[in-house]
Structure 1
Amino acid sequence: MQDKTNIMDDSAPRPIRSLFAWLVGASQILGLASVVLTGVWMGHYRGGFAWDGSAREFNLHPLCMVLGLVFLQGDAILVYRVFRNEPKRNVKLLHGIIHLLALIMSIIGFVAVFDFHRAAKIPDMYSLHSWCGMATLVLFCLQWVMGLLFFLFPVASSWLRASYLPIHVFCGLVLLVMAIGSCLLGITEKLLFSITSTYSLFAPEGVLANVLGLLLVSFGVLLTYLITRDEYRRPPNPEEESLSVHFKTLTEGGSPSTP
C-alpha cells in the first residue's frame, strides 16, 4: 500500500520528486530565514518587543506581517502541493487552519501599529505602504471567508464552486505578491525613517534589512514556481472529477452519464 505521507506519488519520475522535495525545503528555509531576520532586526537593532504603546510595540508589526501574511500564507497555499496524495478534505482543513493562523498574526500586527500611532500621536494611513498593507489585509479576510463558505463548509452549489475555484487560486497568488510588495515598501519606509543619515553608507542595519527584502522576494518567486508547475499539481481524484463533470453538465447541457 502506498504511503500517503510522501510529498509526491511514486508514479512521478524520480528526478521530479527529488527536485520538488529540494525546492519545498528551500522555500521553507527562505521563509523561516525571513521571519528570523525580521526578529533579529526588530530585536537587536530596534530594541525588542513589548505591548506598551512604545516603539517596541511597533516592532511587533513587521514580525507579525512577515510571519502571517507572507510565511504562513505561503505555506497554506503550498499544502496542496506537499500533501498532494492526502484526502482533499484533510488538506482543505489544514489549508484553512494555517490561513486562520496567518489572519490572527496579521490582525495582531495591525493592532500593534495602530496602537503605537495612537500613543505617539502619529497620523494613520498616509503612506503607500499603509494603503497597500490595508488593502492586502482586507482582501485576505475576504478571501478566507469566501474559501470557508465555498470549499471548507460549502454553502454554494457545485457549479458555483467550480467556477469560483480558479478565481480563488489566482487571488491567493495575488495576495501573496501584494503581501511581499507591502513588506518591501515597509522595509524601505522603516529604514528611511530610522537610519536616513547612515543608510547610504551601508550601515549593518540597512544591509540586514535589504537582505530580508531579497529573501522575501526569493520566497515568493519559489512558491509561485511550485504552485504553477503542472507536474506538481494534485493528481485527479473522484471528488474533483465529479465536480468537473457536474460543472460541464450544467454549462454544456450534457448528461452526467454521458461519456
Structure 2
Amino acid sequence: MDSNSVSPMPELAPIAEFDKSPPSPPNEEVPMDDLPPPPATISGNDVKKVKVQRSRSYESDDHERGACEWCEYALIITLATILLIGVSALTIFWVFFYREGYGWADDIPEKQFNLHPTLMVAGFVTFSGFSVLLYRICRCFRRIYVKLLHAIFHALAFPCIVIGFLAVLDFHNKTGIVNFYSLHSWIGLVAMGLFGIQYAVGFFSFLLLLICNKGTAGFRASLVPVHAAFGILTFVLGVAACLTGLTEKALFTFGQDLSTTKYWQMPQEAIVINAIGMSIVAVAIVVLYTVRGTGGYRLRKVAAQHPS
C-alpha cells in the first residue's frame, strides 16, 4: 500500500429525521409572549365581591324552574292580594251593615269608634302586609324602586294608625271608659311604638341612600337585617292587636245583659267578626310563609328568573 495514499473516511450513519433541525443557541431567550401570565392576586375588596356574588347566587341561577314552583309563585301573589284587600273590604262592610257607618262630631260616639277597627286593620294589616310582600317579592325591579314602594305603603299606613288611635282615645274620653286597661290596648301600644321606630329608621336610611349612596352603603347593609326582623315583629304584633280588638268588641257587643242575642248563639254579625279575624290570620300565614319560610326562598328565586 502506498504510504502517500490517504485512507478513506468511514461512512457515517444516516442522520435521523428528528436530528435534522439545528439546535437552538444555548443563550437564546424565550419571548415573553410565550410565557403564561403570572397568577393574579385577589385583594380584600375582590374577596368581598366574590362572597357577595356567592351569597346572591340564587338571583343568577340559570337552572330552569319547574312549573310547580312558578304556579306556587303566582298562587301566593294572587292569594295575598285578595286577602290583603279583602280583609279591609270586609271590615268596611261590617261597619256599614251592622254598625251604622262612620262619624266624628256626631251625637252617636259609636260611629267615631268605628274608625278605630277600620283604620287599624288597614294600617297594620293591609298596607303593612303589602309593604312587606312588595319588598320581598319584587326582585325584578331596581332596588331603589322597591325601597320607594316600601316607603309609600308605610307612609299610607302611618296616618291610618295615628287617626285610628286618636279616634278610640277620644271615644273613651267621651264615654268615660278607662284607657289602656286591656291586653288589646297594651299590645296595640307596643305595636304602635315599634311601628313609629321602624318608620323613623327606614326614612332615615332611605334619606341617606338618596343623599350619599356609596358613603353609607356599609351602614345601611348592617341595618337591613335588624330592620327586617323588627318589621316582621311589628307586623305580627299588629295582627295580634287586631285579633284581640275584634274579640273584645264582640264580647262587648253580645256579652251585655241588655243584649237580646249572645255571642255563643252565633248571630250574623258575630260570624262576620269571626270571618274578619280568620282573614287576618290567613294574611299573617301567607306573609310569614313568603318572607321567612322555604317557600319564600323559592319565590324570590322564581321572581329573579322571571322578571316579567
Class of the TM-score when normalised by the shorter of the 2 chains: 0.7 to 0.9
The residue aligned with 1:50 is: 103
- Kindly provide the amino acid, as one letter, of the partner of residue 226 in structure 2: I
- Structure 1, gaps ≥5 residues long: 1-7, 238-259
How is 1:62-211 mapped onto 2 (pairs within 5 angstroms)?
A: 62-154=117-209, 157-196=216-255, 197-211=261-275
Query: What is the Cα-based RMSD across aligned positions, in Å?
Result: 2.4
The residue aligned with 1:17 is: 70
- Kindly provide the amino acid, as one letter, of the partner of residue 146 in structure 2: V
Give the total of aligned pairs.
230
- Kindly provide the amino acid, as one letter, of the partner of residue 99 in structure 1: H
Higher helix share: 1
State how far apart, in whole Å, the 2-side matches of 1:194 and 1:162 are.
48
TM-fit CA distance, 1:150 = 2.0
TM-fit CA distance, 1:9 = 9.7
Q: Tell me whether 1:221 sits opposite 2:285 in the alignment.
A: yes
- Kindly provide the amino acid, as one letter, of the partner of residue 175 in structure 1: T
State how far apart, in whole Å, the 2-side matches of 1:104 and 1:30 are.
22
How is 1:26-45 mapped onto 2 (pairs within 5 angstroms)?
A: 26-45=79-98
Structure 1 range deviating more: 9-18 or 144-153: 9-18
Q: Secondary structure at the match of 1:209?
A: helix
The residue aligned with 1:249 is: none
State how far apart, in whole Å, the 1-side matches of 2:61 and 2:84 are.
28
Q: Give the TM-score taking structure 2 as reference length.
A: 0.70
Asked whether the 8 Å contact 2:137–2:300 carries over to 1, the reply is: no
State how far apart, in whole Å, the 2-side matches of 1:151 and 1:33 are.
30
TM-fit CA distance, 1:69 = 1.0
The residue aligned with 1:247 is: none
Asked whether the 8 Å contact 1:79–1:95 carries over to 2, the reply is: yes
- Kindly provide the amino acid, as one letter, of the partner of residue 175 in structure 2: A
TM-fit CA distance, 1:10 = 10
Q: In structure 2, do the counterparts of structure 1 residues 158 and 10 end up closer, same or farther at CA, with 3 Å as the change threshold?
A: closer
TM-fit CA distance, 1:158 = 3.0
- Kindly provide the amino acid, as one letter, of the partner of residue 78 in structure 1: L
Structure whose alpha-carbon radius of gyration is higher? 2
- Structure 2, gaps ≥5 residues long: 1-58, 256-260
State how far apart, in whole Å, the 2-side matches of 1:67 and 1:10 are.
37
Percent of pairs with identical residues: 34
State how far apart, in whole Å, the 2-side matches of 1:105 and 1:80 are.
21
State how far apart, in whole Å, the 2-side matches of 1:9 and 1:105 are.
39
Q: Give the TM-score taking structure 1 as reference length.
A: 0.82
Structure 1 range deviating more: 153-162 or 54-63: 153-162
Asked whether the 8 Å contact 2:205–2:220 carries over to 1, the reply is: yes
Q: In structure 2, do the counterparts of structure 1 residues 212 and 47 end up closer, same or farther at CA, with 3 Å as the change threshold?
A: same
